């Protein structure tokens, strides 16, 4: 039942200015729903309307809208004077009897209540309210000074997220199985053939690591739900959790038919409304507290269409209402020449909103760490929303792929040391810190091989930020003289300021955190490919050279 509490808040905006239709409920006509208009002054009619709506819903399984038309007797608050803008309406309201008076008069007229009895009941109710008010005022001086539920920002515990090789090999075989007579699209069949090679004999890409994480959870008894605008196939045609018969069009989702699965896997393509979809998934995650509920943006940029849900619920729901959630946001993010609307999930916004352990922000550089992050989120004893900057071009970049040992032996990694320099740390004079896809831009450059005194360290878990862990890793390089943060995003975006504020005050005296990246910008990225490529080349050269700079002056203002 959808009840519109229509109290005609029109003293700031008239109905003809607030909507283009006669009734506030007219939006429901587009869904072919029954609408019941009822006068809020008529208590008997209100009860009848609810009974009728409930009976209709139970009989036909359809939604019903009740337009409860009333009014507001006073302003928004004690200082408001609605008569300033609606003098005639509020003169009429002033003379209009209250709902209580109307109902009492009706009962008296019908002989169900005497006038004196009605007056006595009203006075008794007023007396109870007055006494309660006095009790509240008297107790306020002695009330405990707790304005909100306590937040927990203590270091998070380590969680076992590895899965045995035998289990993963079994799951992989099942995830590639189809019913007899089912015709897989030829191009997809070739991808499946590659994946049929035992995991131990090849690399594991991002989509397969994700699918194995989901499968390992539902066979372990943890429900998983994945929704978004293009989740079945994947925005970049990488996922294919649902197969479509090339001859009949029938569907088959192997992940929903796993042997031994003791929990459900829900998969839905959502409407093209980030606001509606993300709001629904937050509510779902709040109720299904033990499930891994994931919402994926088609591109991370589109999350701005649901910013209200992020601000009002996801990042602050625990602090405001004590409402935990382990909702996971999958936001494709990377600068790859796609332009301002297809480059940035606004990493900086989530980092700015992070405080007191309210959310987790993760930017993985390997499929294995993505695998562990999903399992960690589902198994964590401290439910918090998780925001993941997910890959785009890395989905098919072989140097980023993982080995089976990374899933079965090595667990979740908050930061990743430079594998090239771990055995020769005494030669390192410069350290570059970065996160996500830019790491592969750096190591792909010919300049990387020439920079023999440089270590590139990846920060994967950006929030909660473990300053001690980063400092401990830097301390292993005893001869370091330069430290820089490298990012694709402009200086006023990305993770730079988040890292700088936490790290720089505690660095050794000889070190400061230099910046390498795009200068400050109003728009997230360039609008055409040549400008993008020029910026990427400049960032890589500056990061790998002996004297890193800001890759351009900051904007004025």
pLDDT, one tens digit per residue, over 390-448 is 999 999 999 999 999 999 999 999 999 999 998 899 999 999 999 999 999 999 999 99
The single-letter DSSP state of residue 312 is: I
The answer on 424 and 392 residing in a single domain is no
pLDDT, one tens digit per residue, over 530-541 is 999 999 999 999
pLDDT score of 143 more than 90: no
Q: Could you tell me if residue 400 is inside a domain? A: yes
Assess whether the previous peptide bond of 345 is cis (omega < 30° from 0).
Answer: no
The answer on 330 and 183 residing in a single domain is yes
Tell me what pLDDT residue 16 has: 79
Span of 82-91, 289-298, 495-504 with lowest mean pLDDT = 82-91
Look up the domain containing 302 and give its range: 165-408
Could you tell me the pLDDT band of residue 555, with boundaries at 50, 70 and 90? very low
Pairing label, strands 513-518, 461-463? unpaired
Q: Could you tell me if residue 77 is inside a domain? A: yes
Tell me what pLDDT residue 61 has: 96
pLDDT score of 551 more than 60: no
Could you tell me the pLDDT band of residue 203, with boundaries at 50, 70 and 90? very high
Mean pLDDT of 105-115: 93
Could you tell me the pLDDT band of residue 556, with boundaries at 50, 70 and 90? very low
Could you tell me the pLDDT band of residue 150, with boundaries at 50, 70 and 90? low
Q: What is the mean pLDDT of the chain?
A: 93
The answer on 128 and 178 residing in a single domain is no
341 CA to centre of own chain: 18
Q: Could you tell me if residue 556 is inside a domain? A: no
Q: Which pair of tokens denotes residue 414?
A: 């908050």
pLDDT score of 31 more than 60: yes
Q: Could you tell me if residue 48 is inside a domain? A: yes
pLDDT score of 11 more than 70: no
Sign of the four-CA dihedral 280, 281, 283, 288: positive
Q: What is the dihedral of CA 531, 533, 537, 543, to 10 degrees?
A: 90
What whole-number distance in Å separates Cα of residue 10 and Cα of residue 17?
9
The contacts found for 547-553 with CB under 8 angstroms, 24 or more apart, are: 548/432, 548/482, 548/484, 548/486, 548/514, 548/516, 549/514, 549/516, 550/491, 550/514, 550/515, 550/516, 550/517, 550/519, 551/516, 551/517, 551/518, 551/519, 552/518, 552/519, 553/519
Pairing label, strands 461-463, 360-362? antiparallel
The answer on 376 and 338 residing in a single domain is yes
Q: Could you tell me if residue 420 is inside a domain? A: yes
Tell me what pLDDT residue 85 has: 83
Of 39, 70, 96, which residue is a domain's last?
Answer: 96
The answer on 440 and 349 residing in a single domain is no
What whole-number distance in Å separates Cα of residue 400 and Cα of residue 394?
7
The answer on 456 and 371 residing in a single domain is no
Q: What CATH number has the domain bearing residue 273? A: 3.40.50.12470
**What letters, b where the CB count within 10 A reaches 16 and e where it falls short, cover 24-38?**
bbeebeeeeeebbbb
Could you tell me the pLDDT band of residue 140, with boundaries at 50, 70 and 90? confident
pLDDT score of 335 more than 50: yes
The answer on 340 and 212 residing in a single domain is yes
The answer on 394 and 491 residing in a single domain is no
The answer on 188 and 135 residing in a single domain is no
Whether 284 contacts 226, CB under 8 Å:
no
β-bridge mates for residue 361, sequence order: 387, 463
Tell me what percent of the residues of the chain surpass a pLDDT of 70. Answer: 96
Of 96, 123, 153, which residue is a domain's last?
Answer: 96
For the chain, what is the domain count? 4
Q: What CATH number has the domain bearing residue 429? A: 3.40.50.11610
The single-letter DSSP state of residue 186 is: H
pLDDT score of 76 more than 90: no
The answer on 375 and 244 residing in a single domain is yes
The answer on 308 and 252 residing in a single domain is yes
The answer on 360 and 267 residing in a single domain is yes
Q: Could you tell me if residue 157 is inside a domain? A: no
Tell me what pLDDT residue 81 has: 86
Whether 356 contacts 311, CB under 8 Å:
no
Tell me what pLDDT residue 486 has: 98
What whole-number distance in Å separates Cα of residue 389 and Cα of residue 371?
13
Q: Could you tell me if residue 553 is inside a domain? A: no
- Start-to-end CA distance of the chain, whole Å, equals 52
pLDDT score of 557 more than 70: no
Show Cβ contacts of residue 289 under 8 Å, excluding neighbours closer than 6 positions. 324, 325, 326, 383
Span of 114-123, 348-357, 483-492, 542-551 with lowest mean pLDDT = 542-551
Q: Could you tell me if residue 331 is inside a domain? A: yes
Alpha helices in 145-185 (DSSP H): 165-175
What whole-number distance in Å separates Cα of residue 103 and Cα of residue 302?
51
DSSP per-residue string spanning 315-355: TTHHHHH------EEEEE---SS--TTSS---HHHHHHH--
pLDDT, one tens digit per residue, over 219-275 is 999 999 999 999 999 999 999 999 999 999 999 999 999 999 999 999 999 998 999
Tell me what pLDDT residue 98 has: 94
Show Cβ contacts of residue 92 under 8 Å, excluding neighbours closer than 6 positions. none
């Amino acid at each position: 039942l959808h009840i519109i509490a229509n109290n005609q808040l029109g003293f700031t905006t008239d109905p003809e200015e607030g909507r283009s239709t006669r009734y506030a409920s007219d939006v429901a006509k587009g869904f072919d729903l029954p609408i019941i208009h009822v006068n809020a002054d008529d208590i008997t009619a209100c009860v009848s309307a609810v009974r009728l709506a409930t009976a209709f819903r139970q009989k036909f399984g359809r939604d019903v809208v009740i337009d409860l038309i009333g009014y507001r007797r006073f302003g928004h608050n004690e200082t408001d004077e609605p008569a300033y803008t609606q003098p005639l309406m509020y003169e009429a309201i002033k003379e209009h009897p209250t709902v209580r008076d109307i109902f009492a008069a009706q009962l008296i007229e019908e002989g169900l209540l005497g006038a004196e009895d009605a007056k006595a009941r009203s006075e008794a109710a007023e007396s109870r309210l007055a006494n309660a008010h006095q009790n509240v005022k008297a107790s306020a001086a002695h009330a405990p000074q707790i304005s909100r539920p306590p937040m927990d920002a203590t270091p998070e515990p380590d969680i076992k997220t590895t899965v045995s090789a035998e289990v993963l090999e079994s799951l992989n075989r099942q995830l590639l199985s189809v019913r007899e007579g089912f015709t897989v699209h030829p191009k997809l069949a070739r991808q499946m053939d590659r994946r049929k090679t035992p995991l131990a004999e090849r690399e594991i890409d991002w989509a397969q690591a994700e699918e194995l994480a989901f499968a390992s959870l539902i066979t372990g008894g943890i429900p998983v739900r994945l929704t978004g605008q293009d989740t079945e196939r994947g925005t970049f045609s990488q996922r294919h959790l649902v197969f479509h018969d090339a001859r009949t069009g029938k569907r088959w989702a192997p992940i929903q038919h796993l042997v031994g699965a003791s929990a459900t896997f829900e998969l839905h393509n959502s409407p093209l409304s980030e606001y509606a979809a993300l709001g629904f998934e937050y509510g779902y995650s709040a109720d299904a507290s033990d499930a891994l509920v994931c919402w994926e943006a088609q591109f991370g940029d589109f999350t701005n269409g649901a910013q209200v849900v992020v601000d009002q619920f996801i990042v602050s729901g625990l602090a405001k209402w004590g409402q935990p959630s382990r909702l996971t946001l999958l936001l494709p993010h990377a600068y790859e020449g796609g332009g301002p609307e297809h480059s940035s999930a606004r990493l900086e916004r989530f980092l700015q909103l992070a405080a007191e352990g309210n959310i987790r922000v993760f930017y993985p550089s390997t499929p294995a760490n993505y695998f562990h992050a999903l399992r960690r989120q589902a198994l964590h004893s401290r439910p918090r929303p998780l925001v993941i900057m997910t890959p785009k071009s890395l989905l098919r970049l072989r140097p980023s792929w993982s080995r089976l040992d990374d899933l079965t032996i090595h667990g979740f990694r908050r930061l990743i040391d430079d594998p090239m320099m771990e055995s020769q740390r005494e030669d390192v004079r410069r350290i570059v810190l970065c996160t996500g896809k830019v790491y592969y831009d750096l190591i792909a450059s010919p300049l990387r091989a020439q920079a023999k005194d440089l270590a590139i360290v990846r920060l994967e878990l950006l929030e909660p930020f473990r300053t001690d862990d980063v400092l401990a890793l830097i301390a292993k390089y005893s001869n370091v003289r330069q430290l820089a943060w490298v990012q694709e995003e402009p200086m006023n975006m990305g993770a730079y300021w988040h890292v700088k504020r936490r790290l720089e005050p505690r660095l050794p005296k000889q070190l400061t955190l230099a910046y390498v990246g795009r200068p400050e910008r109003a728009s997230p990225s360039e609008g055409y490919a040549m400008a993008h490529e020029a910026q990427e080349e400049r960032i890589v050269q500056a990061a790998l050279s002996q004297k890193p700079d800001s890759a351009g002056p900051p904007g004025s203002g």
